[in-house]
Amino acid sequence: MLLPVNVTLGVVLAVLLLAAAGVAAAARLGRHREILVAGVRAAVQLAVVAVVIHWVVGSVPLLFGFLALMYAVAVRTAGRRLTANRTWWWAAAPIAAGVLPVVVALLLTGLVPVKGIALIPVTGILIGGALTATVLGGRRALDELTARRGEVEAAMALGLLDRDARLEIARPAASDALLPGLDQTRTVGLVTLPGAFVGMLLGGASPVQAGAVQLFVLVALMAVQAVAVSVVLELVARGRVHRDVRELGP
């Protein structure tokens, strides 16, 4: 066992969480309360999920219901990171566009069985990757359009359509959302050994099997994130996702 579940682990986790919040507060990053809340929420949610998974692994309807819940939470989280107005629900599109085809392909090919013990972690990883890409790509695109409103208007004055003018300005910034996944894939095995690889080894798999699973996860994540960024960029360019005037500031 990599980490024993005991009092010592709880104390170490509490100290690390307080240290993270303390550093953020001392550096005036403005996120120390969010760090504390995120840490406590993670502990509670993982405890609940550990119990729930015991129920859903044996029932296909419950399994897909749990996956739908994961997706809904991801949509809500991503949408609210993008905008405070009602257009937040459009975050459902990039996440679904990235994750659904990959999951369907895995099920149809038999690479992943319709079992909770396999489908939940794989789908969770993909939804998490799509969530991150959607938030980063969408926020960077919206921030860029806000900061460079004059350039967008100038492009439109030259004859470009609204969508095309916004794309020209926002596309380079939105593409930065792909960098974390690219860097992780480029440096895998040299800088870090990601969770899937380590988990497979601890579960008794051979290094070759663990490497194959980790390679699949990384490549699938790049595909999911590329689709998610492309879709959210298109939504921003078409004005489907936008920020209200009060969100833009002066």
Average pLDDT over residues 118-131: 90
Q: How confident is the model at residue 247 (pLDDT cuts 50, 70, 90)?
A: low
Name the average pLDDT for the chain.
Answer: 86
The confidence score (pLDDT) of residue 156 equals: 82
pLDDT, position 176: 92
Report the share of the chain in percent with pLDDT over 90: 48
Of 74-83, 140-149, 154-163, the one with minimum mean pLDDT is: 154-163
Per the CB < 8 A criterion, the answer to whether 137 and 109 are in contact is no
pLDDT given at position 195: 67
Beta bridge partners of 188: 192
- Provide the pLDDT for residue 224: 95
pLDDT above 90 for 75: yes
The H or E element spanning position 22 is helix 7-26
Per-residue pLDDT band at 2 (split at 50, 70, 90): low
If pLDDT is split at 50, 70 and 90, which confidence band does 200 have?
A: low
From 97-111, 132-146, 202-216, 220-234, the region with the lowest mean pLDDT: 202-216
Which tokens belong to 158? Answer: 């030259």
For residues 231 and 206, what is the distance between their CA atoms, to the nearest angstrom? 38
Nearest to 98 by CA among 236, 234, 220: 220
Answer whether residue 103 shows pLDDT above 70.
Answer: yes
Asked whether the beta carbons of 141 and 173 are under 8 A apart, the reply is yes
- Asked if residue 250 has pLDDT above 50, the reply is no
End-to-end CA distance of the chain: 54
Q: Is the pTM of this model over 0.95?
A: no
- Residues 78-96: tens digit of each pLDDT: 999 999 999 999 999 999 9
3-state secondary structure of 192: strand
When pLDDT is cut at 50, 70 and 90, the band that residue 238 belongs to is very high
